[in-house]
Structure 1
Amino acid sequence: MDKSLLQQQVLARLAEDLRQAEQAARTAHETATHEENVAENKYDTLGLEAAYLATGQARRAEAIRQAMASWRQFRPRPYDASQGIQLGALVCLVDADDRQQQVFLGPPGGSMKLGSGAEEVQVISTEAPLARALLGKFEGDEVPMPVAPTRRPFEVLWVR
């Protein structure tokens, strides 16, 4: 899996999320300001609720814009075996049942699952618990990860 392709997929998904958030903000704003939604009494709160929703969607859109800016500036580097796993690493983990999972460590705001053919990659921010557990690890290292009430260890199979 090519890291630059993953980056492009994240940006495309964020662009779609932004389009949806902006549309939702516009719709909520129109509802909040429509003349039929003027409150007739203190219990008539449709306009107020729509205004709150419009504000929330506008904040969500701004957060997505910031994430897109971070992802546009992001330049994934090749894996440096002397430093271990860092931001931009594509990591394959394997659990005790030999199930493999690919993880791509990126900037904040792009947490999502991406698929390419038969491969699926979980994109996570370095702020995520799994990413924090992976930082500085090397191929062959065991990474304890809290899952539900038990800690399920993963082994770092390979890093790119």
Structure 2
Amino acid sequence: MDKSLLRQAIVAKLTAELDTLTRAALMAREEATSEESKAEGKYDTRGQEAAYLAEGQARLALELQETITTYQALSLREFSPGETIDVGAIVTLKARGKSSAYFLGPRSGGLDFEIDGRALVIVTPQSPLGRQLPGRHVGDTVELPGRGGPVPHQIASIE
């Protein structure tokens, strides 16, 4: 898989999310400073609530921008089958006749993509699966939660 396409897809999705969040933060800021939000009594906190919302959204936007910068700078190398898993690896797991692919990324776990017809989910080293992957090899087993308890998944490939 061309990891540069994956990076482009990740950055595009995060940039779209950043644009939406930035617009929402600006709207909340406008609401907080609007004449209509001025307190009409001691229990009227609309303006203050809007200010808190704007501050939180601005903080999230800054974190999102840092995530975009992190992905833009991330070294995306190909992993050979004998290597151990590390950040930047695409890992395919197999269990019960089905396979699933994961990208071990530095941030934004849970985002999912389809690249070249292949579904992929980002996991981070802080996630339950992401904590199990670093240092593992093809053929090793990791466990994912299932309905009846943990389900062993074999590492089928590392890219």
- Sequence identity percentage: 36
Kept in 2: contact 1:21–1:57 (CA 8 A): yes
Answer yes or no: is 1:158 the counterpart of 2:157: yes
Kept in 2: contact 1:92–1:103 (CA 8 A): yes
| Corresponding letter in the other structure for 2:90 | L
Q: Paired residue for 1:102?
A: 101
Superposed CA RMSD in Å reads 1.6
Alignment of 1:39-58 (within 5 A): 39-58=39-58
Shift of 1:126: 2.2
Kept in 2: contact 1:29–1:50 (CA 8 A): yes
Q: Which moved more, 1:79-88 or 1:54-63?
A: 79-88
Kept in 2: contact 1:67–1:110 (CA 8 A): no
Shift of 1:49: 0.9
> SS at the partner of 1:5?
helix
> SS at the partner of 1:76?
coil
Q: Paired residue for 2:135?
A: 136
Alignment of 1:11-160 (within 5 A): 11-95=11-95, 97-109=96-108, 111-147=110-146, 150-160=149-159
Partner Cα distance (1:118, 1:101) in 2: 13
TM-score normalized with structure 2 length: 0.92
Shift of 1:83: 3.7
Q: Which moved more, 1:27-36 or 1:126-135?
A: 126-135
Partner Cα distance (1:54, 1:149) in 2: 43
Kept in 1: contact 2:6–2:115 (CA 8 A): no
5+ residue gaps in structure 2? none
Change (3 A) 1:149 1:26: farther
5+ residue gaps in structure 1? none
> SS at the partner of 1:77?
coil
Kept in 1: contact 2:80–2:158 (CA 8 A): no
Moved over 3 A (4+): 80-83, 146-149
Kept in 2: contact 1:143–1:155 (CA 8 A): yes
Q: Which moved more, 1:78-87 or 1:26-35?
A: 78-87
TM-score normalized with structure 1 length: 0.92
How many aligned residue pairs are there?
159
